[in-house]
Structure 1
Amino acid sequence: MTGRESAREILILVADTGTFTELPYPHRDSTPDGPLRWPGYDASRARAAERTGESESVVCGTATVEGTRAVLIAFEFGFLGGSLGERTGDRLEAAFTYAREHRLPVVPLVATGGSRMQEGMVALTQLQRVARQSALTREAGLPQIAVLRDPTTGGGWATLGAGADVVLALPGAQIGFAGSRVRPSDADPAAYTAEAQVAAGSADTVVPPGELRGTLGGWLRLLTDGTTAPPEPAPVPEALGTVPGLPASGWDAVRRARAADRPRAERYLDAYFTYRLAISGDRCGGTDPDGMLCGFGEHRGRTVAYAAQTGAATRPAGYRTATRLIRLADRLGIPVLTLVDTPGAANDAEAERQGAGAAIAELFGAVATARTPLTTLVIGEGGSGGALALAAPGRTWAVPDSYFSVIAPELAAAILKRPPAQVPETAGQLRIRPQDVAELGLIRTRDGRTP
């Protein structure tokens, strides 16, 4: 693939063979040379049509992708740079309307330079139409998965691209709000790439063309598994620790939770899911790959969303990514599994500048208001509000190799002005062992025992 595939070529790449059916397009009478009577505009459109074989900059239809039916919107960059005009807006609105009427997910395959200059503000206001259609589709509980091609810039990126639930990008694609002709002359071109957008948390992953159909099909299968009825809660994972019995003391619980060989999130996720795909980024410029793992997977034949702390201090971007995940799962009717494992929220100066308090507050709110059921398992350290924010009230369990505390024992001792030698005693007084927290009625047990 060249990276500048036509609309038909990208449809062949992602759709199952022979399944694409083009939608009927609305008819619009127009004045000569368009709404602004731009000299030569009709001739430009005629040349674009002759060159591409298309009559507009988008091709819309339905197809199956790895067996899941969806509405596909493929941009034709060869038609006036894939720009959005009034007729483009007509087609996009019709495609989203069809998706809602037939309960289908929407997949924009974006390659655009932005709004069409020859239609001026009429073209620019198509972004409002697109944004409304996307919002209505979101409210209808239907997923939107965007594929960013080369280039994806301007309003197409700021609506169909960045506004999607999951954002996939082709390697090396030029992606950014500012196109190459309108950026500052000294702008770093590396900042306007697919890889840079993933690093900045604005896209989820880069997918090679040969893997696009499989990845897109996987996402469609996972995100269309929800139901309008209240979903069943995700089952609690089995404990994977190898140390028998419950911790004898509070400090023993801390040491077991901090043991280097204690199972972490990746092992729990691998054991729980037969197949999973990750989302990445908080859509605010940040990622936290070392502190929070988020995504969707298959467990016993159905989709479960997951947000899992990794044992490190969780950064603001990690909390915001978890919030994004829970809200998406809630809208799609998919149950959520959260794994708690952090000594606490990152508390360095940079974390404060990145809005740690606000990020944690947003996650508390998302957990508190979620209609879809959440299931939580504490698999290691449960340090303070940075851990509690990810825990489901009334549906939290804990493994024997864990603790749950108002704060780490060392910090509690420091706050109470106790010497370091009293840290183990402080841990015991805090009653942080799994069995202690269960006796306090704050976590659930199986048959009177922790999982």
Structure 2
Amino acid sequence: MTAPAPRHAREALALVTDDFAELPAPPAAAGASGVSDGDGPIGWPGYGRSRAAAGARTGTPESVLCGTATVGGARTVLVSFEFGFLGGSIGEGTGDRVAAAHAHAREHRLPVTVLLATGGSRMQEGMRALAQLQRLAGESARTRAAGLAQLAVVCDPTTGGGWATLGAGADVVLALPGAQVGFAGSRVRPADADPAAYTAESQYAHGHVDAVVPAAELRAVLGRWLGLLGGPAADAVPPPYALGATDAAGSGREAVARARRPERPRAGRYLEAVFTERAELSGDRAGGTDPGVRCGFGRLPDGRTAAYAAQCGTATRPAGFRTAARLVRLAGRLGVPVLTLIDTPGAANDAAAERAGAGPAIADLFGAVAEAPVPVTALLIGEGGSGGALALAAPGRTWATPDAYFSVIAPELAAAILKRPPEEADALADALRLRPADLVDLGVVRGVVGTDPDAPAR
């Protein structure tokens, strides 16, 4: 049976927890509930009466309920928006409550989870309401600097400043199916705007939402994320053992052929072997996704958390590099080590990739890996095509499997650049010294991993 989408704050809370404990209202918020008719920061006629009616109708004195709860075994601060209270709009009282919730999270070292249903800033409070967006962004930044995770669940609708701060600014964004999600609400869009663009599904397709989750599955999915992001972090991830070939390639051309075999183990098999549980991010937050790059957090067999960014054997697109950079930076802020799996013939080189910023995206990932405050471990599991592969490599902490190669450029492209006939590509593969054993001799990788999980890499 499909669970209904929540329409009110307590309905949303009931989807994810059974033990919500509301936090005391901060002093400013406690006073705000006494706004009288004609009062408020800009003297909006009838505002006090509207607030009183909204409070009586919803049973909440403001547009948010803030408290603590356990979700899937993990503790979190929960902020749940009440759309029935003036459209879930954000006013000064909202800002007071959300700021206090963030302060509580920082004091008690808890992640913050926001269940959003809002139409944006409250018109009846004018610019004093709009200024709350800066306040909320500041609270979010302080919580981020404290190394605590922030998650958002966007319900229907989530528009305006609420989406542009507490929603899109979260580390992980989940959305309910069919939810209206976008900066522009339905009454302020161009008349010819495509309504499909303002949906959870569209935001997911364009890299702004990590997953669209049915209401019945939300508690389990949110609990998994909270458990992974708030649990104990691993030390440096050891390089996984090889799942494919055991013998060394006899030549460069053989190494290339083996790496390109369709049956060779790909990233999915390695992720299944390394992690007992995973939750995946999706999208670069800049309008793009790349299904050929998988990024997320997972639980190791010892119960600790590590992050991963894995290429899946296709040419990596700009969105893939940006998503990986997003993952590395988030892991670094949370103190979680990273495992990267390298497997790509190279960066996508079509016109669309150039327009999408292939160069800047690769540069961004190089920078994220270089600046990572946590250990990054890299394993070359297949093709290592030029800079598009090297961007995921960890300086001094990269290993290779026996059925892989790493090259300054693919042999076929080397022949084209050197103005050699295509049939010389095999000879160039030998000359490029791209076999795993060659890479060890050249100091590019630390070792070649074996097939025994208990044996050290050689």
TM-score (structure 1 length as normaliser): 0.96
Deviations 1:407-445 (A, max 9, x none): 001111111111112111101110000000001111012
User: 1:292: which partner in 2?
Assistant: 293
* Greater shift in the superposed pair: 259-268 or 26-35: 26-35
Name the structure 1 match of 2:130: 124
Distance 1:389 1:341, change over 3 A: same
Kindly provide the amino acid, as one letter, of the partner of residue 300 in structure 2: H
Shift of 1:302: 1.1
Superposed, which structure 2 residues align to 1:52-201 within 5 Å?
52-201=58-207
Check conservation: 2:173, 2:209, Cα contact below 8 A: yes
Residue 213 of structure 1 aligns to which amino acid in structure 2? R
Q: Are 1:400 and 1:450, in contact at CA under 8 Å, matched by a contact in 2?
A: no
**Which structure 2 residues correspond to residues 328-343 of structure 1 after superposition, within 5 A?**
328-343=330-345
CA RMSD of aligned residues (A): 1.4
Contact 1:434 1:450 (C-alpha < 8 Å) held by counterparts: no
Aligned partners of 1:338 and 1:377 also within 8 Å? yes
Q: What's the CA shift for 1:135?
A: 0.5
Q: Are the counterparts in 1 of residues 239 and 449 from structure 2 also a CA contact under 8 Å?
A: no
CA distance in 2, matches of 1:352, 1:380: 25
1:56·1:79 contact (CA, 8 Å) conserved in 2? yes
Deviation at 1:4, TM superposition (A): 4.2
Measure, in 2, the Cα distance between the counterparts of 1:353 and 1:13: 42
CA distance in structure 2 between the partners assigned to 1:4 and 1:329 by the alignment: 31
Moved more, 155-164 or 3-12: 3-12
- Distance, in Å, in 2 between the alignment partners of 1:215 and 1:77 is 23
> What's the CA shift for 1:235?
1.7
Given candidates 235, 238, 243, the residue that maps to 1:235 is 238
Aligned pairs for 1:427-438 within 5 A: 427-438=429-440
Partner of 1:324: 326
Question: Given residue 376 of structure 1, which amino acid in structure 2 is its aligned partner?
Answer: A
Change (3 A) 1:312 1:2: same
Contact 2:209-2:282 at 8 Å conserved across structures: yes
Question: Residues 297-308 of structure 1 correspond to what in structure 2 (within 5 A)?
Answer: 297-300=298-301, 301-308=303-310
Letter aligned with residue 197 of structure 2 = A
Q: Does the CA-based 8 Å contact 1:226-1:332 persist in structure 2?
A: no
For residues 435 and 304 of structure 2, the distance between their equivalents in structure 1, rounded to whole angstroms, comes to 33
Name the amino acid aligned to 1:288. Answer: D
- CA positional deviation for 1:225: 2.2
Q: Is the 8 A contact 1:145 1:164 kept in 2?
A: yes
1:312 aligns with 314
Relative to structure 1, the CA distance from residue 327 to residue 447 in structure 2 (aligned partners, 3 Å threshold; closer, same or farther) is closer
Unaligned runs of 5+ in 2: 451-455
- 1:337 to partner: Cα distance: 0.4
Q: Deviations over 1:154-181 (max 9, x none)?
A: 0000000000000000010000000000
Report matched runs for 1:307-386 at 5 Å.
Answer: 307-386=309-388
Q: Distance in 2 between matches of 1:221 and 1:327?
A: 19
C-alpha displacement at 1:269, in angstroms? 0.8
1:46 and 2:52 matched: yes
Deviations 1:370-397 (A, max 9, x none): 0100010000000000000000000000
TM-aligned CA deviation for residue 446 of structure 1: 5.9
For 1:173, the aligned partner's letter is A
CA displacement, residues 242-286 of structure 1 (integer Å, 9 cap, x when unaligned): x44111100000000000111111111111111111100000000
Q: 1:271-317: CA deviations, max 9, x gaps?
A: 1111111100000000001x201111111211110100010000000
Question: Percent of aligned positions with the same letter in both sequences?
Answer: 67
Structure 2: how far apart are the matches of 1:226 and 1:151? 35
Which residue identity is paired with 2:348?
A: A
TM-fit CA distance, 1:232: 1.4
How far apart are residue 3 of structure 1 and its match? Answer: 2.6
TM-score (norm 2): 0.95
